[in-house]
Chains A and B, each alone.
Chain A
Amino acid sequence: MSIFAYLDAGSGSLLLQAILGGLAGIAVAFRAFKSRITGKKAVEDAVASADEPEQVTEGS
């Protein structure tokens, strides 16, 4: 949250406003969701690869 906001506006309620903002808002919502999904996925991928144990060859 910005230091300017003394009120907890709620993340879901903020993002919902794009959907409530008419046709143009829906496009914004789509772009924001897309960046969330791709951004989140990229982070998750990075975390998953970092956590992956080193491959051990069976029988070695």
Chain B
Amino acid sequence: MVRPDPGSFRDPASRVVFRDGRVLRLLDQRGLEAWNAVASAEFFTRGIAAGRIIETEPTDDPTGTAAGALEHPRLPLITYPYEWTFGMLKDAALLQLDLLDEALQEGFTLKDATPFNIQFRGGKPVFIDIGSFEPYRKGEPWLGYRQFTRQFLFPLLMHAWAGIPFQPWLRGDPEGPTAAHMRAIIRGRKRWNPATILHIRLQARMEDRMRGSAVRSELRSAGFNAEMIRANVGRLRKLVASLEPHPSRAGWAGYQECAHVGRDRDAKSKFLDDILGQGDIGTVLDLGANDGHFSHIAAGRGALAVAVDGDEPVLDRLHASLDGEPIATVLADLTNPSPSLGWRLTERPGLWERVDPDLVVAYGLIHHLIYTASVPPTSVLDWLREFECPIVVEFVSPEDEMVKVLTANKEEAELHPGRTEAEFRSLLDGRFTVKAEQALEGGTRILFHLLPA
């Protein structure tokens, strides 16, 4: 059975469908012509060889309705820009600009410029929308420029220059902030930065003044050409490459210095590694992954580790350190993960719909959910049970030093029941069976290997 990808419908020339676990791209006549032209282009074959463009092979059209069909490898995890760190969006922006520049040099262009066309593999961005490439037509401007500014440049600028995280904005509006929004956001000295003047203030003004005017033929007859796009792309690249996260965007950066982390790390590593060694595990979901220590252990055993954390600076460091290891970094607040979004609420599925773990690791996590986020322990265990797979969880008793810190300003009556070891064990009944357990050295923490009941 052929199932259309609900996120691939905007471009009539090229759309993705799934069949028996395969990822196919169906092309109309124009899409097929663009593919035939680009398939032999040097930048394209070079991009595939370097892993910057997704592998693509012609195949048979299973529907019999398309002009042509292509096949891509299936990516084990799809993530969206609102789940990316600053460094991930920056890497994706640079790839987008580099591919456009290389394409223009060989007479091609990219018809759009959205981070949804990019995914991450081993920490490196890979361009997945082959349908974006098409022959450049003389005199045409870059149709994706405005989209690039809204979905790449402005989110990075609001983060770097104003200290405003872009992820909540992109989650609320995946189209990204407009130039007019940015004009209101960028204040102080940065208002006079050439990038602000040109890409934000002038764009906002021109967009406002010229709404609905047909300008493409005017540009063509005035002598616009690809070199002008390249000049713009070159300067955008320099600007993007110079951006760094705002100094105020710091979070859990001191986690590793907590006393219990160093003390328990070896025992926790061994407990996990023993479990990983017991069988073939494809995907490990590392919840509260922090610096990715346990994700690295899973990756070392050949699994794909999905490292989820809400602390952007720490996760960004993990992303930057990756060099091909099968670790996918996902920025998410576990108490408020990405919901389903977009057209018919199926275009961008929610985070948990995209992850299918064989093992969930919840080290150093559930006490934060219980004591900081005030999630009842019963609900935490119900949630873990919903992953329908074995769980490795660290139980932290109310006597633990970290719990004392978390509850310093809370009274007993303000806390949910089910927090003691005895209560925790009774809550496991009916949900999980305990396959293995190990008390940690401090006496307040226990590791459990749980199987769904």
Contact pattern, B 196-218, Cβ under 8 Å of A = 1, otherwise 0: 00110011011111111111101
Contact A22 B219 (CB under 8 A): no
Q: Cβ of A15 and Cβ of B210 under 8 Å apart?
A: yes
Among A4, A6, A21, A28, point to the contact of B232 (Cβ < 8 A). A21
- Number of residues of chain B lying within 8 A (CB) of chain A: 45
- A-B pair count, CB < 8 Å, reads 125
Chain B residues whose C-beta falls within 8 Å of the C-beta of A13 in the assembled complex? 145-146, 149, 203, 206-207
In the assembled complex, B251 has its CB within 8 A of some CB on chain A: no
Interface membership of chain A positions 4-43, coded 1 if the CB is closer than 8 angstroms to chain B and 0 otherwise: 1111011111111111111011011101100110000000
Q: Is the beta-carbon distance between A17 and B229 smaller than 8 angstroms? A: yes
Query: Would you give the shortest CB distance from A10 to chain B, in whole angstroms?
Result: 4
A2 within 8 A of B: yes
List A contacts of B206 (CB < 8 A): 11-13, 15-16
The one of A11, A21, A22 in contact with B213, judged by C-beta atoms closer than 8 angstroms, is A11
Q: A10 vs B205: C-alpha distance in the bound complex, in angstroms? A: 12
In the docked arrangement, what's the CA distance between A15 and B206, Å?
A: 8
A27 to B219, CA, bound (A): 11
B218 to A36, Cβ gap below 8 A? yes
Verify B12–A31 contact, CB threshold 8 A.
no
Please judge, given known A-B contacts A13-B207, A16-B198, whether A32 and B222 are in contact too, CB under 8 Å.
yes
Whether, in the assembled complex, B11 has its beta carbon less than 8 Å from a beta carbon of chain A, the answer is yes
B227 touches A9 (CB 8 A): no
Least CB distance, B237 to chain A, in whole angstroms: 13
Q: How far is the CA of A11 from the CA of B219 in the complex (A)?
A: 11
Task: Give the interface of B toward A (CB within 8 A).
Answer: 10-13, 30, 111-112, 134, 141-147, 149, 198-199, 202-203, 205-216, 218-219, 221-225, 227-229, 231-232, 235
Query: What are the nearest 6 A-B pairs in CB distance?
Result: A21-B228, A12-B206, A13-B146, A12-B207, A22-B231, A31-B222
- A-B CB contact pairs (8 Å), 20 listed: A1-B214, A6-B13, A9-B147, A10-B146, A11-B211, A11-B213, A11-B214, A12-B207, A13-B203, A17-B229, A18-B141, A18-B222, A18-B224, A21-B232, A22-B232, A27-B223, A28-B228, A32-B219, A35-B222, A36-B215
